[in-house]
């Protein structure tokens, strides 16, 4: 399963975006976890695969 770790700002917007992209469009299961971070990271089975700096985090 894909794990998405993301900044804790804009929770409703992030939930909607993740749902549309991962579940509806790609048909993938995921879990999303907010954290005190300035990047969005995607990992599969605990192995980090992708990091994207979040420009809206203000950090």
**For residue range 7-49, what is the model confidence (pLDDT) as tens digits?**
999 999 999 999 999 999 999 999 999 999 989 999 998 887 7
Could you tell me the pTM of the whole model?
0.83
Residues 24 and 55: their CA atoms lie apart, in Å, by 25
Q: Where are the beta strands (DSSP E) in the chain?
A: 2-7, 30-35, 39-44, 47-53
pLDDT over threshold 60, residue 58:
no
Reported as a pLDDT band with limits 50, 70 and 90, residue 57 is low
pLDDT of amino acid 45: 87
User: Who contacts 43 (Cβ-Cβ below 8 Å, separation ≥6)?
Assistant: 2, 3, 5, 49
- In terms of C-beta density within 10 A (0-12 exposed, 13-18 middle, 19 or more buried), how is residue 34 classed? middle
Q: Is the pLDDT of residue 51 over 70?
A: yes
Beta-bridge mates of residue 2 = 30, 44
């Amino acid at each position: 399963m894909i794990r998405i770790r993301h900044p804790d700002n804009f929770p409703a917007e992030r939930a909607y975006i993740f749902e549309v992209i991962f579940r509806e469009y790609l048909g993938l299961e995921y879990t999303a976890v907010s954290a005190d971070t300035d990047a969005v990271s995607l990992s599969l089975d605990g192995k980090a695969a992708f990091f994207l700096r979040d420009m809206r985090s203000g950090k």
